[in-house]
């Protein structure tokens, strides 16, 4: 089979790939030099839409509406844009073998792709309940959400099981966003997760209490401290019941599972240095292999602000790491250099009428401030994290653009605080005056 050869190849066609392509175009990539190889059938898009507006019962977002780079307020890169720039979009093409020393990738269909410089942007995949051997976990109507095909299958099931019962397994990002979406779609929703409160990766118990009460007021049943251990399946192979470890059994029409992600590094095992479950990079996203870069969810990079290697599974970092890698590649071709990546972690989520943002690090002591009554018509509250006498992280629900910028500034500048009580009573005005 024919071999194709490119100066630059981006492996993966997700968020990072799209933002990398835009940066290559800004830097004057020549027609024919760059290819994006993706197993998805569509050009790079803003993945966060899949668990939000894509699933709305009315006025749902659809492609081409949310191709990159609209998520960060930029121009939308439609398939025609790549054509105009001479960037090859090689879609519906899964790479099954990577030979980094030989600079070669091989697809499932047997095509060979050669490159001079490779950017690995394969992102994450979902952890499946079948991975833990949960009985009946391969039944019909048990869904995961990572790619647009997954979202399309869920949309079909939502139509087919109108006004039915949904169980959401997992209390993280997917759990909270999908719990809300299924409720908005008129499903009777239960959420099940093992921890004492939702989103324990980020939320304190105080923050979680607000969202749990808000969801409960919407009619969502929250079942904590247990897990799904099995599913009952009918004669059509469709899921009918969820069996919980604590003995409870829930009737169900649709199950949505969000029990975490896993970086897709398998193709490169043994060929490149790994760290903390991802591919280890420097501050320019260069890996241990010459001419190979790794960006987005799967990069374990030096987080300068905390002097620590970290992996970040969020869209803002996917965008910025991709831009940094391309700038570094182009600069080094001209014998120049770029500044080290100096990232301030930024995460956000939206559900119902709620929207929060978080910046920095959620370590140390925490204080909560503001109106966190879930019944308030427009609740606005936040939290600061304080370590070694400095504010290192800040969270805000219901903030304006200016207020969100203010908490970002606090997390970046890390001002000192004398008293946690004073910080708590000053609340948001502490951030706004920095
Ligand atoms: P991404 O997953 O975007 O892209 C990877 C690409 O590689 C995919 O196109 C995949 O098909 C392809 N690929 C993988 N293996 C391949 C192979 N062997 N051959 C060819 N192609 C291959 N973050 C946030 O900050 N706010 C939010 O609201 C959300 N919301 C959200 C919703 C949902 C449903 C998900 C799944 C994730 C989010 N995120 C998020 C996380 C965010 O989307 C994520 O961090 C970025 O998409 C990561 O970008 P990457 O480009 O690294 O991977
Ligand atoms: P997550 O890590 O946010 O949450 C996983 C949750 O599942 C945790 O609460 C975990 O304890 C729980 N869990 C683990 N095992 C379980 C079990 N056996 N039964 C029930 N619950 C179990 O992961 P996610 O929500 O699946 O999200 C997947 C990926 O998508 C992540 O990378 C996430 O960052 C990304 N994402 C981000 C956003 C956002 O930033 N707004 C939105 C959606 C998805």
Domain boundaries, the chain: 3-125+262-334, 129-259, 353-433
Crossing angle of helices 315-333 and 15-26, rounded to 10°: 30
Residue 297, both tokens: 């969810």
**Does any ligand 1 atom lie closer than 6 A to the CB of residue 9?**
no
**Does any ligand 1 atom lie closer than 6 A to the CB of residue 146?**
yes
Whether complex ipTM tops 0.90: yes
pLDDT tens digits for range 40-67:
999 999 999 999 999 999 999 999 999 9
Tell me if 359 sits within 8 A of 393, measured CB to CB.
yes
**Does any ligand 2 atom lie closer than 6 A to the CB of residue 147?**
no
Contacts of 414 (CB under 8 A, 6+ apart): 360, 390, 391, 392
**Does any ligand 1 atom lie closer than 6 A to the CB of residue 171?**
no
pTM: 0.98
What's the pLDDT at 434? 87
What's the pLDDT at 378? 87
Considering only CA atoms, which of 99, 16, 60, 22 is closest in space to residue 317? 16
Q: How far apart are CA 258 and CA 261, in angstroms?
A: 8
**Does any ligand 1 atom lie closer than 6 A to the CB of residue 348?**
yes
pLDDT tens digits for range 255-276:
999 999 999 999 999 999 999 9
Q: How far apart are CA 300 and CA 47, in angstroms?
A: 20
Contacts of 13 (CB under 8 A, 6+ apart): 36, 37, 38, 39, 40, 42, 43, 44, 89, 91, 121
Average pLDDT, the chain: 97
pLDDT tens digits for range 355-373:
999 999 999 999 999 999 9
pLDDT tens digits for range 166-214:
999 999 999 999 999 999 999 999 999 999 999 999 999 999 999 999 9
% of the chain with per-residue pLDDT over 70: 100
What's the pLDDT at 209? 97
pLDDT of residue 301 exceeding 80, the answer is yes
At residue 311 the predicted structure's pLDDT band, cuts being 50, 70 and 90, is very high
Considering only CA atoms, which of 340, 362, 352, 348 is closest in space to residue 401? 348
Architecture of the domain spanning 129-259: 3-Layer(bba) Sandwich (3.50)
User: What are phi and psi for residue 68, nearest 5 degrees?
Assistant: -60, 145
At residue 377 the predicted structure's pLDDT band, cuts being 50, 70 and 90, is confident
**Residue that the structure tokens 């079909």 belong to:** 156
- Centre of ligand 1 from the C-alpha of residue 44, in Å: 10
pLDDT tens digits for range 19-38:
999 999 999 999 999 999 99
What's the pLDDT at 1? 66
- DSSP assignment of 98-121, as one string? EETTTTEEEETT--EEEEEEEEE-
At residue 2 the predicted structure's pLDDT band, cuts being 50, 70 and 90, is confident
Class of domain 353-433: alpha beta
At residue 329 the predicted structure's pLDDT band, cuts being 50, 70 and 90, is very high
Closest atom, ligand 2, to C-alpha of 174: 25
Considering only CA atoms, which of 16, 56, 10, 54 is closest in space to residue 33? 10
At residue 282 the predicted structure's pLDDT band, cuts being 50, 70 and 90, is very high
- pLDDT mean over 102-115: 98
Architecture of the domain spanning 3-125+262-334: 3-Layer(bba) Sandwich (3.50)
**Domains 3-125+262-334 and 129-259 fall in the same CATH topology:** yes
- Centre of ligand 2 from the C-alpha of residue 6, in Å: 36
Closest atom, ligand 1, to C-alpha of 47: 43
Closest atom, ligand 2, to C-alpha of 227: 19
């Amino acid at each position: 089979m024919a071999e194709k050869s490119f100066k630059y190849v981006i492996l993966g066609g997700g968020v990072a790939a799209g933002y990398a392509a835009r940066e290559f175009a800004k830097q004057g990539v020549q027609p024919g030099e760059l290819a994006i190889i993706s197993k998805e059938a569509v050009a790079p898009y803003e993945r966060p839409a899949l668990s939000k507006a894509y699933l709305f019962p009315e006025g749902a977002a659809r492609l081409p509406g949310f191709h990159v780079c609209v998520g960060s307020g930029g121009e939308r890169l439609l398939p025609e844009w790549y054509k105009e720039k001479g960037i090859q979009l090689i879609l519906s093409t899964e790479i099954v073998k990577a030979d980094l020393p030989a600079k070669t990738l091989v697809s499932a269909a047997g095509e060979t792709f050669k490159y001079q410089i490779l950017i690995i942007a394969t992102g994450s995949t979902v952890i499946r309940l079948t991975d833990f051997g949960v009985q009946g976990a391969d039944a019909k109507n048990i869904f995961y959400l990572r790619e647009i095909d997954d979202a399309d299958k869920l949309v079909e099931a939502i139509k087919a099981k109108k006004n039915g019962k949904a169980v959401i397994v997992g209390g993280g990002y997917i759990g909270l966003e999908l719990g809300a979406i299924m409720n908005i779609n008129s499903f009777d929703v239960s959420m099940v997760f093992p921890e004492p409160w939702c989103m324990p990766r980020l939320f304190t118990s105080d923050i979680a209490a607000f969202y749990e009460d808000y969801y409960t007021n919407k009619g969502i049943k929250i079942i904590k401290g247990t897990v799904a251990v099995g599913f009952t399946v009918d004669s059509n192979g469709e899921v009918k019941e969820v069996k919980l470890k604590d003995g409870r059994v829930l009737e169900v029409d649709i199950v949505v599972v969000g029990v975490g992600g896993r970086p897709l590094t398998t193709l490169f095992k043994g060929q490149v240095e790994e760290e903390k479950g991802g591919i280890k990079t420097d501050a320019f996203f260069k890996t241990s292999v010459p001419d190979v870069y790794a960006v987005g969810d799967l990069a374990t990079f030096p987080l300068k602000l905390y002097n620590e290697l970290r992996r970040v599974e969020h869209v803002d970092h996917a965008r910025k790491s991709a831009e940094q890698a391309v700038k570094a590649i182009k600069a080094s071709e001209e014998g120049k250099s770029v500044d080290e990546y100096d990232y301030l972690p930024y995460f956000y989520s939206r559900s119902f009428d709620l929207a929060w943002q978080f910046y920095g690090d959620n370590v140390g002591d925490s204080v909560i401030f503001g109106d966190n009554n879930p019944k308030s018509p427009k609740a606005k509250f936040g939290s600061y994290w304080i370590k070694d006498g400095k504010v290192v992280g800040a969270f805000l629900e219901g903030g304006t653009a200016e207020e969100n910028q203010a908490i970002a500034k606090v997390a970046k500048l890390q001002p000192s605080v004398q008293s946690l009580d004073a910080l708590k009573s000053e609340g948001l005005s502490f951030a706004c005056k920095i």
